[in-house]
Structure 1
Amino acid sequence: MKKRKIPLRKSIVSGEMKPKKELIRITRSKEGVVAIDPTGKMPGRGAYIAIEPEEVQKAWDKKILDRVLETTLTDAFYQELLDYVTHQKARRELFGNG
């Protein structure tokens, strides 16, 4: 049987190449609306960040997403992202990677 290729993406915080399923995508639409993209299919400019609360905190402190997405993000968005990533990490630890 042929082995399937696993799509890799680079985390904007750590610079590590990881499987797409281990990362979360944040998008900026043409209108400038920034959103968390759990499906990975929303249109617009995308940036990936690992599902690690430490990486989100580092991105928040250094405003990395602001630079990459060429916009200004509020602290409320970073807090929402941190809550989402913390929740997803807890789910993975409870239920595995499925």
Structure 2
Amino acid sequence: MPRVKKVPLRMCVGCQEMRPKRELKRVVRTPLETVEIDPTGKKTGRGAYICPNPECLQKAIKGKRLERALECSISAEVIESLKQGMVD
């Protein structure tokens, strides 16, 4: 009987739904205190997961959920780069 592989689940900080890790985008606060999108999911630092749609990012920013999850304040320039990164 073959083993069933466990699918890791993560919660989106925008809509707060549990989804498979591969469906979400990871935003990471690096040790250098920069906030960026982590396409590989392997960068070091504190991470938060967001659905790849702009509405979830907007909810996470408006409710300051992303700042709370990353434990740092996020500047307007970083927010714009996150919006551009979600489109890709």
For structure 1, the 5+ residue unaligned runs are 88-98
Compute the TM-score of the two structures, normalised by the length of structure 2: 0.85
Match of residue 66 from structure 2: 65
More helix by share: 1
Consecutive unaligned residues in structure 2, runs of 5 or more: none
The aligned counterpart of 1:20 is 21
What TM-score comes out, normalization by structure 1 length?
Answer: 0.77
Identify the residue that residue 42 of structure 1 maps to in structure 2: 43
The CA deviation at 1:38 is 0.7
Question: What does residue 11 of structure 1 align with?
Answer: 12
Provide the rounded CA distance (Å) in 1 between the counterparts of 2:61 and 2:16. Answer: 16
Q: Which has the higher contact order (CA 8 A, sep 6+)?
A: 2
Note the C-alpha offset of 1:86: 2.2
